[in-house]
Amino acid sequence: MSTTTFSSTCFLKGSEVKVSNLKCNNGNWKLHIGGSTALSTKRMQISNSKQEKEIRVALLGASGYTGAEIIRLLANHPYFGITVMTADRNAGKSMDSVFPHFITQKDLPVLVSTNDADFSDVDAVFCCLPHGTTQEIIKGLPKRLKIVDLSADFRLRNVSEYEEWYGQPHRAPDLQEEAVYGLTEILREEIKNAHLVANPGCYPTSIQLPLVPLIKANLIEHKNIIIDAKSGASGAGRGAKVGNLYTELTEGIMSYGVTRHRHVPEIEQGLSDAAHSKVTISFTPHLMPMSRGMQSTIYVEMASGVTTDNLYQQLKVSYQDEEFVRLLEKGAVPRTHDVRGSNYCYINVFPDRIPGRAIILSVIDNLVKGASGQALQNLNIMMGFPENTGLGYLPLFP
């Protein structure tokens, strides 16, 4: 007589089940859940084959960094499976020929052009196309689809403002009216029933997450907000550009978009919504010689009688139940290394040398919480799944 025993924990949809014992006694399997026998069978078949996913996803613009990051995140998602991928310049190619690190992902569909994409067997769409090209494509998609757009095309409610900052008229103003801005922790309830979610930009995510709760609580002034932000080179996309060449970028720091970065109106829109009045900011982004990561250093003037302890406590209350936004212990300095490859945002508050002012540090991975991770978080909510599904990646260090 031989007996084999296993102990494990398994996950069912929306819940965790503790398997205390899985015993085999001469070919008879017994499954013990929570200490009692829940199932007994003569033979239990254990298979490694992938089951068909419940939600069929199309990924438009799969050959860019954000598209590749969505593929990485969905590789272990229990409910979302990719059935369509587009990349116009790489149509007909396999994904591992574009990104060799996907050579193990044998179930990915072949890349097709956007015009040849078939959406008849698709439930949801991630759109990772460049701004300016997205509006008409999304306008032509079936109305039944749930869509998360990672471009800037639907982030600004005022289409005139979009034209001013992006240099072209908005081609889908009616669709813009129904788009929901997808800053998950702030607008979760609106996202639940949305048809189209405009995924926030990376800089706006790192800036609004710490500032919105403080503005709503009237703890900081709406003037003299100064933001010094730094991003890894992947934030500029995968296209060949002189400024992104190794010799141009390495061993230095480069400021860009000085006074006119396109994320400014998006940031001011979110902060003005929180304040119920117009908020303007001074914002300067910088490109750093690293592949991914983002830090926003934010200088604020506190309201009369407010201290940095008040700011700290407000952020603590605002995010104490949030999985992906973490307020560090007092005095701890957030580092981009500590969130790399993850969907986390780390925040902390420090007193400035100048009386009445505070310094807020916020770090994210620009490709995850700043783009694809937050997009997945939003689609999870839109499709009725726990929003952390597929996002349980620990930060990658070193």
Q: Which residue has the tokens 């006074």?
A: 259
Q: Which of 10, 127, 128, 202 is catalytic?
A: 202
**What are the distances in angstroms from CA 148 to CA 104, 196, 352?**
26, 6, 39
Residues 360/346, Cβ–Cβ less than 8 Å: no
3-state secondary structure the chain: CCEEEEEEEEEECCEEEEEEEEEEECCEEEEEECCEEEEEECCCCCCCCCCCCCEEEEEECCCCHHHHHHHHHHCCCCCEEEEEEECHHHCCCCHHHHCHHHCCCCCCCCCECHHHCCCCCCCEEEECCCCCCHHHHHHCCCCCCEEEECCCCCCCCCHHHHHHHHCCCCCCHHHHHHCEECCHHHHHHHHHCCCEEECCCHHHHHHHHHHHHHHHCCCECCCCEEEEEEECHHHHCCCCCHHHCHHHHCCCCEECCCCCCCCHHHHHHHHHHHHCCCCCEEEEEEECCCCCCEEEEEEEEECCCCCHHHHHHHHHHHHCCCCCEEECCCCCCCCHHHHCCCCCEEEEEEECCCCCEEEEEEEECCCHHHHHHHHHHHHHHHCCCCCCCCCCCCCCCC
Q: How many CB atoms lie within 10 A of CB 373?
A: 28
**What are the distances in angstroms from CA 177 to CA 125, 287, 379?**
19, 33, 19
202 annotated active-site: yes
Q: Which residue has the tokens 């922790």?
A: 185
- Active site residues per annotation: 202
